[in-house]
Chain A
Amino acid sequence: MAELEVVIGLEIHVQLATQTKMFCSCALSFGDPPNVHTCPVCLALPGALPVVNERAIHLGLMIGMALGSELAPRSTFHRKNYFYPDSPKGYQISQYDEPLCRGGTLEGVRIHRVHLEEDAAKLIHLGSSGRIHGSQTSVVDFNRGGTPLVEIVTEPDLRSAAQAREWLELLRATLRALGVSDVNMEEGSLRADANVSLRAAGSSELGTKAELKNMNSFRYLERGIGAEVERQSAIISGGGEVEQETLHFDPASGHLTPLRSKEDAQDYRYFPEPDLVPIAITAAMLGAARAAMPELPAARAARFESELSISPERARQLAFRGDLGDFFERAVSASADGVAHARRIADWLTGEVLARLGDADPASSRLEPGALAALAALLADGVVTATAAREVLDALISDGGDPAAIVAERGLGAIADSDGLAEIVARAIAADPDTAEQVRSGNAKAIGALVGPIMRETRGRADGAELQRLIRAALGVGD
């Protein structure tokens, strides 16, 4: 059997951070009691008509610009007809053959289209406690119904679950930098569906795809796609054929279950929305969107590389997570010599700080950007060793404060005095003659057994390289 290649495309729905809904003047809401943000339009009362929110167009254009899309001079809305209690009109107003933006690319992944539409209402399952003849009841809350959405559809350019996750993280960072959305997957302001298929490696034809829904975190997205790749591989290697279907990811079990049966295949009967007129992008609209564009993660990474000599990988790590990039920049600009220590700040931020804080924004810890910069300077100047600096960092993250003061208070300064160290080295060699002999007879690795106790005794304040030099000198072994 030929090797299989994974092919993934994403469809991302982004709730826009406007004040009001897509087609009516109801304020957006999160977590309010049910049905307090409604009006004749978003309840689809008879006779009510939609009117497009101009801010949604503005934010849509910013997204298109960020993705390098072609911005349609003229775009139109269509009705996508289907019955469901969360769709009060019996259709969703969306865009069809004339979307706001077409094409574009983000980090090598091509964008198919970007279009505007409206979110569905929320359907809450009550179970059989409902009042409808003892049968199962659901309740509709229209607060969310009509929230502006941008749908971003990629070409099938992603090749693994991990890459899909990474790319989506970059997209989120980009959208966050744009300020167009809260982009919170858990809260549903960023939602991703994945189209997954397999094909013989090297083939240019696409295999039959499955559509995966409800992966409401980055981890679930990666797990869901991973599970689907496994499922399809098993089918194909068993000689079977993958069927086109929509699957629902259950985070609890990690299982994918079919969402709709085939006999209920959708026929959305798209047709031009007669209640709305076309959007014709004006020079003023383009100018306003362009003026509002911030620096985007990819450009920021390039700047970190060129201006601060950060390695490409580190630069992307910082820039693609906006909060890290912001913290980094504040640290670098906190003192006059910040730029000189930029690489060390970057290393510590993406290494030690990240290891301690995970996904949490460092700005929300007690660690001050200036303190991280000061710590980097202490390291650079040899005032503290890396081991001691880790202890200082622990203190900075839990209690805040000034690194130099912590070093002084806790006596964490590096033992710079080689005479003092020489005495400790002599004592260590005397305490472990066997190891000393091994080192002397050429076993370089054995030196670790001598270093360990000294580090313990000095609580990491000794500089490791200097220590090894002193031991070898004392034993008469060359470098």
Chain B
Amino acid sequence: MGAEGIDPDEVRHVARLARLELSGEEVERMAGELAGVLRHIATIDELDLDGVEPTSHVVSVENALRPDVPRPCLPRERALESAPEVADDGFAVPSPQA
């Protein structure tokens, strides 16, 4: 895996996936910093992990379920109180179609 690091094109692609604007200078810097961390991460390549189960949770809980019973909702004013832009009782955003 990526001991070779990550090139600026990959940085731009990942930034796009993560919805992060990065200037040209930031892309270069990020590529260098990530490469350093990825080199350290690559040390796990030396481990033999065949047949090892992945761990997603360290808790052994199952079926943490909730009864299907309604509880009070937030009043609309509270739901909207922190919104950067409000229109028609909703959260306004630049239209995705635009």
Beyond A36-B73, A130-B87, whether A54 also contacts B66 by CB under 8 A is: yes
Kindly state whether residue B92 has any CB partner on chain A within 8 Å.
yes
- Size of the B side of the interface (Cβ < 8 Å), in residues, is 35
Kindly state whether residue B40 has any CB partner on chain A within 8 Å.
no
Beyond A19-B68, A37-B73, whether A137 also contacts B62 by CB under 8 A is: no
Beyond A26-B70, A34-B88, A54-B68, whether A132 also contacts B94 by CB under 8 A is: yes
Binary contact track A276-298/B, C-beta < 8 Å → 1, others 0: 11111010000000000000000
Kindly state whether residue B59 has any CB partner on chain A within 8 Å.
yes
A residues 139-156 near B (Cβ < 8 Å) are 139-142
In the complex, are the beta carbons of A269 and B80 less than 8 A apart?
no
> CA–CA, A142 to B88, complex, Å?
13
Q: Give the A-B contact count at a CB cut-off of 8 A.
A: 138
Kindly state whether residue A20 has any CB partner on chain B within 8 Å.
yes
> CA–CA, A57 to B62, complex, Å?
13
Secondary structure type dominating chain A contacts: loop
Binary contact track B54-83/A, C-beta < 8 Å → 1, others 0: 001101011111111111011110011000
Contacts of A253 in B (CB 8 A): none
A residues 83-136 near B (Cβ < 8 Å) are 83-85, 123-126, 130-132, 135-136
Q: Could you list which residues of chain B lie within 8 angstroms of chain A, going by C-beta atoms?
A: 17, 19, 56-57, 59, 61-71, 73-76, 79-80, 85, 87-98
Contacts of B79 in A (CB 8 A): 35, 38, 43, 142
Beyond A138-B95, A272-B56, whether A34 also contacts B90 by CB under 8 A is: yes
Kindly state whether residue A350 has any CB partner on chain B within 8 Å.
no
Q: How distant is B75 from chain A, measured CB to nearest CB, in Å?
A: 8
In the complex, are the beta carbons of A126 and B87 less than 8 A apart?
yes
In the complex, are the beta carbons of A19 and B70 less than 8 A apart?
yes
Contacts of B62 in A (CB 8 A): 74, 277-280
